Amino acid sequence: MADKVNLSELLSNLTMFAGVPADALVRVAGESRVRKFRRGQIVFNAGDPGDSLVIVVSGRITVKVRSADGGELILAIVGPGGVLGELGVIDGGPRSADAETLDETELLFVPRQALVDLQREFPQVTSSMLTVVASGFRRLTDATADLVFLDLPRRVAKVLLDHPRNDAGAIDLGLSQEQLSHQVAGTRQSVNQALRGFERRGWISLAGRNVVLRDVEALARFAGDLS
């Protein structure tokens, strides 16, 4: 029961479950399961049944699409407290993308039927879930616009600006340059060239996968993101 209570607390922190009583979330947690994954392990593939909501307890997941010739485009990186699989829960359809772990990862799988039952009991869950889906669609629309209208160095700059950083401006991408290239639809060589260009201008400094933003305003001006 203690584990179920801890999982229900995790659920209560999610926007889609706002206002749902604790006892109902304990019930949902009891119908769910936690699974641990190694780094680089497939969570699901496009076309798999969308039979559960997936919540990241720890670690990170990349959500990606693949071309027929093996090319990859990372649509999102989902960290702790993040959710994926909402579309399948809503419409019962298959997964629309692949999901793969970036780190050792712990995931909570909430069965679709448990959520359907919860929606019947608490209709506000449906509205909250649609809000989450709309937010994700908006982010995907913005990312698509960047791919179409921004050149690769500006796409790299926006990815750097989107990462949380400490007081010293340091961010840990947690991505290889190959993985970063899949996020910005480029090549590893072109991403490296962009990063080295930023470093020469004094905007960033590089140390492996760690990046320190030295001049955030200049980088934002270059990316066209001064909001």
Alpha helices (runs of H) in the chain, residue ranges in sequence order: 2-12, 22-31, 86-91, 112-121, 124-149, 152-162, 177-184, 188-200, 216-223
User: CATH homologous superfamily for 2-147?
Assistant: Jelly Rolls (2.60.120.10)
Domain residue ranges in the chain = 2-147, 151-223
Look at residue 74 and tell me whether its pLDDT is greater than 50.
yes
Other C-beta atoms closer than 10 Å to the C-beta of 208 total 8
In percent, how much of the chain has pLDDT > 70?
A: 96
The per-residue pLDDT for 209 is: 77
pLDDT at position 226: 53
CATH architecture of 151-223: Orthogonal Bundle (1.10)
Report the C-alpha gap between 125 and 110 in whole angstroms: 14
* pLDDT value of position 157: 95
What does the pLDDT look like over 190-212, one tens digit per residue? Answer: 999 999 999 999 999 998 778 99
Does residue 80 register a pLDDT over 70? yes
pLDDT value of residue 1: 36
pLDDT at 4: 56
Residue 173 DSSP symbol:
-
Q: Going by DSSP bridges, is the β-strand pair 170-172/210-213 parallel, antiparallel, or unpaired?
A: antiparallel
What confidence tens digit (pLDDT) does each residue in 84-137 have?
998 888 888 999 999 999 999 999 999 999 999 999 999 999 999 888 888 888
pLDDT at position 8 is 87
C-alpha angle 50/16/60, rounded to 5°? 60
Q: Which residues contact 18 (CB under 8 A, 6 or more apart)?
A: 124, 128
The rounded distance, in Å, linking the Cα atoms of 192 and 200 is: 12
Cβ-proximal residues to 1 (8 Å cutoff; 6+ apart), any chain? 26
Distance in angstroms (rounded) separating the CA atoms of residues 179 and 62: 10
pLDDT, average across residues 55-67: 92
Better-predicted residue by pLDDT, 2 or 155? 155
> 48-57, 70-79, 169-178: which has the minimum mean pLDDT?
169-178
